[in-house]
Structure 1
Amino acid sequence: MHGGSTPTSTFRPLNGLLSSKQLVMFLALVSTFGLLCPLYLIYKPPAALIRFFQRRWPDVLFRHVTAERVVALTIDDAPSTHTRAILDLLVSNDAIATFFLIGSQVFGYEDVLAELVRAGNELANHAMYDEPSHELSDATLAEQIHQVHALIQDAYGAAGRVGPDTWFFRPGSGFFSSRMRRLVSQLGYRLVLGDVYPHDPQVPFASLNARHILSMVKPGSIIICHDRREWTLPMLREVLPELKRRGYRVVTVSGLLKTH
C-alpha cells in the first residue's frame, strides 16, 4: 500500500470539461449538424454521390458523361397555363427541353404540345396524375404509362413528327424501386432523374433556384424543374441566358445522349 493522494486521471468526460450550459450548446450543435448534413446532401448532392447512384443503378439516367458543354433541361408537370410562355423563352434563348407530361393535365393543351414538338422539344412520360408513382401497383402504373404514351404519340402526330428513339419516364415524386425499374424497362421506357434539382416545387424563390442551378451545372447535367409554378419562368429567365453566356447548349435528354 502506498500512502498519499490518489493520482489524478488525465481523461475527463465532456461533462468534466464543459459547464452545463456549454455541454447543452455542444450537444445542440452536434444534433443540428447531424440533421442538416443529410438535408444538404439531398438539396445539393455532391458529384461523387451522383456518380455512385449512376453506378448503383446504371439503367436509371442521372447525368451523361460528355466533354461537350451541353446540358439537358427537363420540365416536369406539363402542360399548364405557363407552358406556352416557357416555350417562347426557350425559343428566344436557342434552347429546347424535355417536357414530362402529366396525362390528366393534357386536355385543352393539345395545341401547345404540338407547338412544343414543332419547336424541337421532346415529350416524355410523368404518369397520369401528380402522385408518388412508387406507391402504385404494377397494373395501375403500367396502365397510366400506356395512357400518357398514347397522348404523347397524338401530340407528335399532330405536329407531323415521329417520337424519339428512346421513350423516357420520370416517376412522380422521383422515387423508384426495383419493381418499377423492371416494369418501366418492360414497357420500353428508360427511367430519368437528374443531377441538378433546385427543389422548386417546395422553394418558390426564382433567383434562389436560379443560383442553385447555376452553381451545380456541369457538362452532361440533367436539370430538373417544374411547370405549373409562377416562379419557374422568372427562374429560367436568369438561367438560360447565363448558360448561353457560359457556352452551354441546352437540349433535350435525347439530344444530350447523342453527345460524346
Structure 2
Amino acid sequence: MPKPISAARRTALAGLLTATSLVLALSGCATYDVTAPADARAEAPAAEVRAKDTALAAAQDGKAPRGTDGDGADCRKAKCVALTFDAGPSENTGRLLDILKKEKVHASFFLLGENHVEKRPAAVKRIDAEGHELANHTWSHQILTDIPPAAAEREMSRLQEAVRKITGKTPRLMRPPQGRTDEQVSDISKRLGLAQVLWSVTAKDYRTNDSALITERVLDQTERDGIILLHDIYRGTVPAVPGILKELKKRGYTIVTVSQLLSPAKPQPGMVYRP
C-alpha cells in the first residue's frame, strides 16, 4: 500500500515543488497535504522569519517576555528533536512533569479526553503552566478514518472545547489515533484550526514496560528533526525519560516542542507534519 510522499523527498526530486504538494494517502486513493519540519521552516513566510529572528535577538539581550519563542532554540541551526507524549494525562504525568522541569525541557502533550482530561483537569493546567504544548489526541481515541465525518469532528472538537475550558487555550495540533488520516480527516482538521502531527520515532511503549528497552528504541531511531512518540500512560515510559534526555543532550540534540521544531513556520490547519 503506497505511503504519502514526504516533502523532503519531493524537494530532492524537484526543487521547484512546494512542500504542500498533493500526495497519496494511506488508503491509496484519497489525498492530503504532508510536509517535513525542515521544509516547513524553509518555506516560512518572510514575516514569520522576521518575527522569529526578532524574538531570538530579544532573548539574547534578555528582553524577551517569559514564555515567548525568545527563550527557545533556532532549529534552523540547532540539531533539534521534538518530544511528544500521547493519551494522557494519567497518574504518571506529575512525575513526568517533575522530570521535564528538572531537565529544563518542554514537550508537546497530545491529550486524550475521556478518562484523562475530564478526570485530571489539574494536570492539564500544570502542563500548560509549565510551558508545555497542549495538543489534541481526540476525545475517546476512535480511529478517525473508520467513523462518519460528523463523529470524527466531534472527537476532535470535544477535546478542543474541554482544553479551552480548563486553560483558556485551544490546541493547534492534533495527532490522529494510530496515525491514521486521510483527506476527509484533513478537511475536518482544517475547519477546526488543527494541524496534524505524525512521528518518526516510536518506542512501542504500549507493548512493553521495560524502561531500558524503551530508552534503547528511542535512541536508536532518533535523528535530526525527528518527532519522538511516547505515552505517559504506561508504567515503563516515564522512568525511561531521564536516560533518554541525558543521552540525547550528550549527542548534541536540542529537545523542543513540535511548534518549536517547525518555527519560524507556524502549524497550518489541515496539514500533516511528518519527518
Normalised to the residue count of structure 1, the TM-score between the two structures is 0.72
Cα deviation, residue 229, structure 1: 0.3
Give the Cα separation in 1 of the matches to 2:214 and 2:223.
16
How much is the aligned-residue C-alpha RMSD, in angstroms? 2.7
Give the Cα separation in 2 of the matches to 1:235 and 1:132.
28
Per the alignment, in what secondary structure is the counterpart of residue 82 of structure 2?
A: strand
Q: Does 1:174 align with 2:179?
A: yes
Farther-moved stretch of structure 1 (103-112 vs 65-74): 65-74
Cα deviation, residue 224, structure 1: 0.7
**Residue matched to 2:124:** 113
Give the Cα separation in 2 of the matches to 1:215 and 1:120.
28
Give the Cα separation in 2 of the matches to 1:70 and 1:52.
20
Encode CA deviations 1:170-190: one digit per residue, 9 max, x unaligned. Answer: 111211122212221222111
The equivalent position to 1:72 in structure 2, one of 82, 87, 90, is 82
Runs of at least 4 residues off by over 3 Å: 48-67
Q: Give unpaired runs (5+ residues) of structure 1.
A: 1-37, 43-47
Give the Cα separation in 2 of the matches to 1:148 and 1:63.
25
Residue 80 of structure 2 aligns to which amino acid in structure 1? V
Give the Cα separation in 2 of the matches to 1:62 and 1:202.
28
**Residue matched to 1:142:** 153
Cα deviation, residue 156, structure 1: 2.6
Give the Cα separation in 2 of the matches to 1:221 and 1:96.
15
Give the Cα separation in 1 of the matches to 2:163 and 2:256.
19
Per the alignment, in what secondary structure is the counterpart of residue 247 of structure 1?
A: coil
Taking structure 1 as reference, are residues 179 and 71 closer, same or farther at Cα in structure 2, changes over 3 Å only?
same
Give the Cα separation in 1 of the matches to 2:184 and 2:156.
15
The share of aligned pairs that are identical, in percent, is: 28
Taking structure 1 as reference, are residues 234 and 51 closer, same or farther at Cα in structure 2, changes over 3 Å only?
farther
Give the Cα separation in 2 of the matches to 1:123 and 1:103.
12
Give the Cα separation in 1 of the matches to 2:170 and 2:160.
10
Equivalent residues, number: 209
Give the Cα separation in 2 of the matches to 1:63 and 1:221.
8
Q: Say whether the 8 Å CA contact 2:7–2:34 is kept in structure 1.
A: no
Which runs of structure 2 are paired with 1:71-90 in the superposition (5 Å)?
Answer: 71-90=81-100
Which runs of structure 2 are paired with 1:3-18 in the superposition (5 Å)?
Answer: none
**Residue matched to 1:193:** 198
Q: Say whether the 8 Å CA contact 2:6–2:34 is kept in structure 1.
A: no
Residue 184 of structure 1 aligns to which amino acid in structure 2? S
Q: Say whether the 8 Å CA contact 2:37–2:262 is kept in structure 1.
A: no
Q: Does 1:59 align with 2:33?
A: yes
The equivalent position to 1:129 in structure 2, one of 125, 135, 140, is 140
